Amino acid sequence: MRLVSYEENGRPRFGAIVGDVVLDLARASEAYAASDSSILKIPSRIEHFFEDCGALSASARTVIARFEASPGATPGLSKPLADAKLLPPIQRPPKIVCVARNYAEHAREAGLEISPIPIMFARFSRTLVADGDQVLVPAVSNQLDWEGELAVIIGKDTKGKRIGKAEAMDYVFGYSIFNDVTVRDYQFRITQYTAGKNFRASGPFGPVIVTADEIADPHKLDIRTMLNGEVVQSANTDTMIYDIPTILENIAEFIDLEAGDVIPTGTPAGVGFKRKPPVFLRDGDTIAVEIPGIGVLSNPVRNETV
Protein backbone atom coordinates (compact mmCIF):
# COMPACT_ATOMS: atom_id res chain seq x y z
CA MET A 1 0.00 0.00 0.00
CA ARG A 2 1.00 3.60 -0.65
CA LEU A 3 -0.56 5.66 2.11
CA VAL A 4 -0.89 9.43 2.36
CA SER A 5 -2.43 12.22 4.35
CA TYR A 6 -4.13 14.92 2.31
CA GLU A 7 -5.99 18.12 3.01
CA GLU A 8 -9.71 18.62 2.54
CA ASN A 9 -11.49 21.77 3.69
CA GLY A 10 -8.52 22.67 5.87
CA ARG A 11 -8.47 19.29 7.64
CA PRO A 12 -6.26 16.22 7.19
CA ARG A 13 -7.73 13.05 5.68
CA PHE A 14 -6.22 9.58 5.38
CA GLY A 15 -5.93 7.97 1.97
CA ALA A 16 -4.21 5.48 -0.28
CA ILE A 17 -2.81 6.14 -3.73
CA VAL A 18 -4.53 3.81 -6.19
CA GLY A 19 -3.33 4.44 -9.73
CA ASP A 20 -3.77 8.15 -10.37
CA VAL A 21 -6.28 8.83 -7.58
CA VAL A 22 -6.30 9.19 -3.82
CA LEU A 23 -8.84 6.85 -2.25
CA ASP A 24 -10.33 8.15 1.00
CA LEU A 25 -10.02 5.10 3.23
CA ALA A 26 -12.51 6.21 5.88
CA ARG A 27 -15.27 6.88 3.35
CA ALA A 28 -14.50 3.75 1.36
CA SER A 29 -14.44 1.49 4.40
CA GLU A 30 -17.76 2.88 5.59
CA ALA A 31 -19.32 2.38 2.17
CA TYR A 32 -18.02 -1.17 1.71
CA ALA A 33 -18.67 -2.30 5.30
CA ALA A 34 -22.40 -2.14 4.59
CA SER A 35 -22.08 -5.27 2.46
CA ASP A 36 -18.98 -6.86 4.03
CA SER A 37 -18.94 -7.24 7.80
CA SER A 38 -15.26 -8.21 7.78
CA ILE A 39 -14.30 -4.63 6.88
CA LEU A 40 -13.49 -2.50 9.89
CA LYS A 41 -14.20 1.19 9.65
CA ILE A 42 -10.96 3.07 9.10
CA PRO A 43 -10.38 6.40 10.85
CA SER A 44 -10.22 9.60 8.85
CA ARG A 45 -6.74 10.45 10.24
CA ILE A 46 -3.66 8.29 9.95
CA GLU A 47 -2.70 9.00 13.57
CA HIS A 48 -5.83 7.14 14.69
CA PHE A 49 -5.16 4.36 12.18
CA PHE A 50 -1.86 3.70 13.94
CA GLU A 51 -3.70 3.10 17.21
CA ASP A 52 -4.75 -0.27 15.75
CA CYS A 53 -2.93 -0.55 12.44
CA GLY A 54 -2.46 -4.32 12.73
CA ALA A 55 -6.18 -5.00 12.41
CA LEU A 56 -6.97 -1.98 10.27
CA SER A 57 -4.30 -2.76 7.67
CA ALA A 58 -6.21 -5.86 6.57
CA SER A 59 -9.35 -3.80 6.09
CA ALA A 60 -7.41 -1.17 4.16
CA ARG A 61 -6.10 -3.82 1.76
CA THR A 62 -9.61 -5.21 1.26
CA VAL A 63 -10.99 -1.73 0.62
CA ILE A 64 -8.25 -0.91 -1.90
CA ALA A 65 -8.77 -4.21 -3.75
CA ARG A 66 -12.52 -3.68 -3.93
CA PHE A 67 -12.07 -0.14 -5.25
CA GLU A 68 -9.58 -1.34 -7.87
CA ALA A 69 -12.08 -3.94 -9.04
CA SER A 70 -14.80 -1.32 -9.67
CA PRO A 71 -13.45 2.20 -9.19
CA GLY A 72 -16.58 3.97 -10.43
CA ALA A 73 -19.18 1.91 -8.62
CA THR A 74 -19.48 4.21 -5.60
CA PRO A 75 -18.98 7.93 -6.30
CA GLY A 76 -17.31 10.30 -3.88
CA LEU A 77 -14.65 7.92 -2.58
CA SER A 78 -11.65 9.30 -4.43
CA LYS A 79 -10.14 12.35 -6.04
CA PRO A 80 -7.45 12.78 -8.70
CA LEU A 81 -3.98 12.66 -7.20
CA ALA A 82 -3.07 15.71 -9.27
CA ASP A 83 -5.75 17.69 -7.42
CA ALA A 84 -4.85 16.48 -3.93
CA LYS A 85 -2.86 18.65 -1.52
CA LEU A 86 -0.64 16.12 0.22
CA LEU A 87 0.45 16.66 3.81
CA PRO A 88 3.29 15.01 5.74
CA PRO A 89 2.15 11.37 5.84
CA ILE A 90 1.96 11.55 9.65
CA GLN A 91 1.56 15.09 10.92
CA ARG A 92 1.98 14.31 14.60
CA PRO A 93 4.11 11.18 15.01
CA PRO A 94 4.53 10.01 18.60
CA LYS A 95 8.29 10.43 18.12
CA ILE A 96 10.81 11.33 15.46
CA VAL A 97 14.15 9.73 16.38
CA CYS A 98 16.90 10.54 13.90
CA VAL A 99 20.18 8.68 13.43
CA ALA A 100 23.42 10.61 12.88
CA ARG A 101 26.63 9.52 11.13
CA ASN A 102 25.19 6.30 9.77
CA TYR A 103 27.23 6.31 6.54
CA ALA A 104 31.00 6.02 6.88
CA GLU A 105 31.74 8.36 3.98
CA HIS A 106 29.55 11.05 5.53
CA ALA A 107 31.34 10.70 8.87
CA ARG A 108 34.69 10.98 7.11
CA GLU A 109 33.70 14.01 5.04
CA ALA A 110 32.54 15.71 8.24
CA GLY A 111 35.82 14.86 9.99
CA LEU A 112 33.94 13.00 12.74
CA GLU A 113 34.47 9.65 14.38
CA ILE A 114 32.45 6.57 13.53
CA SER A 115 30.55 5.85 16.72
CA PRO A 116 30.52 2.31 18.19
CA ILE A 117 26.74 2.67 18.70
CA PRO A 118 24.09 4.65 16.77
CA ILE A 119 24.05 8.37 17.56
CA MET A 120 20.47 9.54 17.95
CA PHE A 121 18.68 12.85 18.39
CA ALA A 122 15.07 13.97 18.49
CA ARG A 123 13.13 16.04 16.00
CA PHE A 124 9.84 17.74 16.77
CA SER A 125 6.72 17.24 14.70
CA ARG A 126 6.17 20.99 14.29
CA THR A 127 9.21 21.07 11.97
CA LEU A 128 7.59 18.76 9.39
CA VAL A 129 6.71 20.00 5.91
CA ALA A 130 4.98 18.18 3.07
CA ASP A 131 6.20 17.38 -0.39
CA GLY A 132 5.99 20.60 -2.41
CA ASP A 133 5.88 22.89 0.60
CA GLN A 134 8.50 25.49 1.39
CA VAL A 135 11.68 24.88 3.33
CA LEU A 136 12.68 28.12 5.04
CA VAL A 137 16.13 29.70 5.19
CA PRO A 138 16.00 31.15 8.71
CA ALA A 139 16.55 34.86 9.20
CA VAL A 140 19.23 34.10 11.82
CA SER A 141 21.48 31.94 9.62
CA ASN A 142 22.58 31.35 6.03
CA GLN A 143 23.92 27.83 6.65
CA LEU A 144 20.92 25.71 5.70
CA ASP A 145 22.00 22.27 4.49
CA TRP A 146 20.36 19.12 3.08
CA GLU A 147 20.41 15.50 4.31
CA GLY A 148 18.41 13.01 2.26
CA GLU A 149 17.39 9.90 4.23
CA LEU A 150 15.33 6.73 4.28
CA ALA A 151 12.72 6.89 7.05
CA VAL A 152 11.40 3.82 8.86
CA ILE A 153 7.78 3.91 10.08
CA ILE A 154 7.01 1.84 13.17
CA GLY A 155 3.83 -0.27 13.13
CA LYS A 156 3.40 -1.58 16.66
CA ASP A 157 4.37 -0.70 20.21
CA THR A 158 7.10 -2.47 22.11
CA LYS A 159 5.07 -1.90 25.32
CA GLY A 160 8.00 -1.72 27.69
CA LYS A 161 9.84 -4.58 26.04
CA ARG A 162 13.46 -4.40 24.92
CA ILE A 163 13.74 -6.06 21.53
CA GLY A 164 16.59 -7.86 19.79
CA LYS A 165 17.75 -7.58 16.22
CA ALA A 166 16.10 -10.86 15.25
CA GLU A 167 12.61 -9.54 15.96
CA ALA A 168 13.12 -5.84 15.22
CA MET A 169 11.81 -5.93 11.66
CA ASP A 170 8.48 -7.26 12.96
CA TYR A 171 7.89 -3.73 14.30
CA VAL A 172 8.39 -2.02 10.93
CA PHE A 173 5.21 -0.89 9.19
CA GLY A 174 6.75 0.78 6.17
CA TYR A 175 9.12 3.34 4.72
CA SER A 176 9.15 6.93 3.57
CA ILE A 177 11.60 9.69 2.64
CA PHE A 178 12.96 12.33 4.99
CA ASN A 179 15.15 15.37 4.37
CA ASP A 180 16.85 16.22 7.64
CA VAL A 181 17.45 19.86 6.68
CA THR A 182 19.96 21.31 9.12
CA VAL A 183 21.12 24.77 10.20
CA ARG A 184 24.81 24.02 10.52
CA ASP A 185 26.06 26.89 12.67
CA TYR A 186 23.31 26.21 15.21
CA GLN A 187 24.04 22.48 15.07
CA PHE A 188 27.70 22.94 15.96
CA ARG A 189 27.49 25.84 18.42
CA ILE A 190 27.54 23.22 21.19
CA THR A 191 27.65 19.43 21.26
CA GLN A 192 23.85 19.12 21.28
CA TYR A 193 22.20 18.90 17.84
CA THR A 194 18.72 19.92 18.96
CA ALA A 195 18.58 23.56 17.80
CA GLY A 196 20.20 22.99 14.41
CA LYS A 197 17.82 20.13 13.66
CA ASN A 198 14.55 21.76 14.70
CA PHE A 199 14.14 25.07 12.90
CA ARG A 200 10.72 25.94 11.55
CA ALA A 201 9.84 24.29 8.23
CA SER A 202 13.02 22.21 8.13
CA GLY A 203 11.70 18.64 8.05
CA PRO A 204 10.45 17.55 4.62
CA PHE A 205 8.73 14.17 4.98
CA GLY A 206 6.86 12.07 2.44
CA PRO A 207 5.23 12.13 0.00
CA VAL A 208 3.96 8.63 0.90
CA ILE A 209 4.40 5.74 3.28
CA VAL A 210 5.06 2.52 1.39
CA THR A 211 4.22 -0.56 3.44
CA ALA A 212 7.02 -2.98 4.19
CA ASP A 213 5.63 -5.78 2.01
CA GLU A 214 6.32 -3.63 -1.08
CA ILE A 215 10.01 -3.10 -0.29
CA ALA A 216 11.95 -6.32 -0.91
CA ASP A 217 15.01 -5.20 1.06
CA PRO A 218 15.27 -1.76 2.71
CA HIS A 219 19.03 -2.27 2.94
CA LYS A 220 19.39 -2.28 -0.85
CA LEU A 221 17.78 1.01 -1.85
CA ASP A 222 19.40 3.73 -3.92
CA ILE A 223 19.09 7.19 -2.42
CA ARG A 224 19.80 10.44 -4.24
CA THR A 225 19.53 14.09 -3.32
CA MET A 226 19.27 16.71 -6.09
CA LEU A 227 19.88 20.44 -5.72
CA ASN A 228 18.24 22.28 -8.63
CA GLY A 229 18.32 19.03 -10.59
CA GLU A 230 22.01 18.31 -9.95
CA VAL A 231 22.84 15.17 -7.96
CA VAL A 232 24.62 16.12 -4.73
CA GLN A 233 24.20 12.85 -2.80
CA SER A 234 24.16 9.35 -4.27
CA ALA A 235 24.48 6.14 -2.29
CA ASN A 236 22.77 2.89 -1.40
CA THR A 237 21.34 1.93 1.97
CA ASP A 238 23.56 -1.16 1.90
CA THR A 239 26.38 1.17 3.01
CA MET A 240 24.67 2.17 6.25
CA ILE A 241 26.89 1.45 9.26
CA TYR A 242 23.95 0.42 11.45
CA ASP A 243 21.16 -1.53 9.81
CA ILE A 244 17.54 -1.07 10.76
CA PRO A 245 17.43 -3.92 13.32
CA THR A 246 20.46 -2.45 15.11
CA ILE A 247 18.88 1.01 15.17
CA LEU A 248 15.57 -0.26 16.55
CA GLU A 249 17.26 -2.47 19.13
CA ASN A 250 19.22 0.53 20.41
CA ILE A 251 16.18 2.82 20.59
CA ALA A 252 14.13 0.19 22.42
CA GLU A 253 16.84 -0.12 25.07
CA PHE A 254 15.78 3.20 26.56
CA ILE A 255 12.31 4.11 25.26
CA ASP A 256 9.30 2.31 23.85
CA LEU A 257 8.80 2.22 20.12
CA GLU A 258 5.24 3.30 19.29
CA ALA A 259 3.13 2.74 16.21
CA GLY A 260 3.52 5.80 14.02
CA ASP A 261 7.06 6.66 15.16
CA VAL A 262 9.30 7.97 12.38
CA ILE A 263 12.97 6.92 12.35
CA PRO A 264 15.13 8.72 9.73
CA THR A 265 18.15 6.45 9.31
CA GLY A 266 20.96 8.90 8.49
CA THR A 267 22.35 10.60 5.42
CA PRO A 268 25.14 9.63 3.01
CA ALA A 269 28.09 11.77 1.95
CA GLY A 270 27.58 14.87 -0.16
CA VAL A 271 26.21 17.43 2.26
CA GLY A 272 26.77 21.09 1.52
CA PHE A 273 28.83 22.32 4.45
CA LYS A 274 31.80 20.07 3.58
CA ARG A 275 31.99 21.05 -0.07
CA LYS A 276 34.84 23.26 -1.22
CA PRO A 277 33.63 25.95 -1.13
CA PRO A 278 30.63 25.15 1.10
CA VAL A 279 27.22 25.20 -0.57
CA PHE A 280 24.09 26.08 1.36
CA LEU A 281 20.43 26.27 0.41
CA ARG A 282 19.32 29.64 -0.91
CA ASP A 283 16.06 31.35 -1.72
CA GLY A 284 14.82 30.04 -5.08
CA ASP A 285 16.52 26.63 -4.85
CA THR A 286 14.71 23.31 -5.13
CA ILE A 287 15.92 20.39 -3.04
CA ALA A 288 14.68 16.88 -3.78
CA VAL A 289 15.33 13.38 -2.42
CA GLU A 290 14.58 10.27 -4.47
CA ILE A 291 14.35 6.64 -3.36
CA PRO A 292 13.11 4.30 -6.12
CA GLY A 293 10.11 2.31 -4.98
CA ILE A 294 9.05 5.11 -2.66
CA GLY A 295 9.15 8.25 -4.79
CA VAL A 296 10.51 11.78 -4.84
CA LEU A 297 10.26 14.32 -2.04
CA SER A 298 10.77 17.80 -3.51
CA ASN A 299 10.66 21.19 -1.84
CA PRO A 300 11.23 24.80 -2.87
CA VAL A 301 13.50 26.89 -0.66
CA ARG A 302 12.44 30.35 0.43
CA ASN A 303 13.76 32.98 2.81
CA GLU A 304 11.96 33.27 6.11
CA THR A 305 10.00 36.48 6.46
CA VAL A 306 9.91 38.01 9.91
Q: pLDDT value at position 58?
A: 96
User: Is residue 110 located within the same domain as residue 207?
Assistant: yes
187 and 59, same domain (yes or no) = no
Residues 46 and 124 in one domain: no
The rounded mean pLDDT for the chain is 95
- pLDDT for residue 131 is more than 90: yes
Same domain, 127 and 69: no
Band (pLDDT 50/70/90 cuts) for residue 306 is: confident
pLDDT at 70 over 90: no
Among residues 36, 71, 86, the one where a domain terminates is 86
pTM of the model: 0.96
Q: Give the domain CATH number at 252.
A: 3.90.850.10
pLDDT above 70 coverage of the chain, percent:
100
Predicted confidence (pLDDT) at residue 102 exceeds the cutoff of 80: yes
Rounded distance, CA 268 to CA 266, Å? 7
Q: What is the pLDDT of residue 72?
A: 78
Same domain, 76 and 200: no
Contact 87, 130 (CB under 8 A): yes
Residue 111 pLDDT class (50, 70, 90 cuts): confident
Q: What angle do CA 71, 74, 77 make, to 5 degrees?
A: 75
Residues 20 and 163 in one domain: no
Same structural domain, 79 and 99: no
The answer to whether residues 82 and 94 belong to one domain is no
Give the pLDDT confidence of 267-297 residue by residue, as tens digits. 999 999 999 999 999 999 999 999 999 999 9
- Is the per-residue pLDDT at 135 higher than 90? yes
- Give dist(CA 77, CA 294) in Å, integer: 24
Mean local confidence (pLDDT), 200-213? 98
35, pLDDT greater than 80: yes
Structural domain including 32 reads 2-86
Residue 126 and residue 151 share a domain: yes
Work out the burial of residue 33: count CB atoms within 10 Å of its CB; fewer than 13 is exposed, 13-18 middle, 19 or more buried: middle
User: Which residue, of 86, 106, 124, is where some domain finishes?
Assistant: 86
Orientation of helix 25-33 relative to helix 53-69, angle to 10°: 80
pLDDT of residue 113 exceeding 90:
no
Phi, psi dihedral angles at 69 (to 5 degrees)? -70, -30
Number of domains making up the chain: 2
Q: Are residues 104 and 177 in the same domain?
A: yes
Question: Are 296 and 190 found together in one domain?
Answer: yes
Q: Are residues 205 and 274 in the same domain?
A: yes
Tell me if the bond preceding 80 is cis, omega within 30° of 0.
no
Domain end (from 86, 109, 143): 86
